[in-house]
Amino acid sequence: MTEDTFDRHMLEALVCPQTRAQLTYDAQTQELVSKAAHLAYPIRNGIPIMLVDEARKLD
């Protein structure tokens, strides 16, 4: 695994910290998306940043 790739198996263990809902992986933006919270959590150097304050609000 290179430092810019995300281990998709990690998705099975991760949930949105705000809603506890399932996340989806957006490879193009390198984000984990919570449709329930309308938030996108960034992935930096292969590490998901699961902080609500760091998440991008979705329209």
At 3 the pLDDT is 47
Q: Is the pTM of this model over 0.75?
A: yes
The more confident residue out of 5 and 29 is 29
Query: Are 33 and 48 within 8 A, CB to CB?
Result: no
> How confident is the model over 9-55, as pLDDT tens digits?
878 889 999 999 999 999 999 999 999 999 999 999 989 999 999 99
H/E stretch holding 47 reads: strand 47-48
At 4 the pLDDT is 57
How far apart CA 18 and CA 15 sit, in angstroms, is 9
Beta bridge partners of 34: 39
Cβ neighbour number for residue 20 with a 10 Å cutoff: 10
Residue 8: pLDDT band with limits 50, 70, 90: confident
Domain 8-57, CATH number (from 2.20.25.10, 2.40.70.10, 3.40.50.620, 3.30.720.110): 2.20.25.10
Q: Parse the chain into domains and list their residue ranges.
A: 8-57
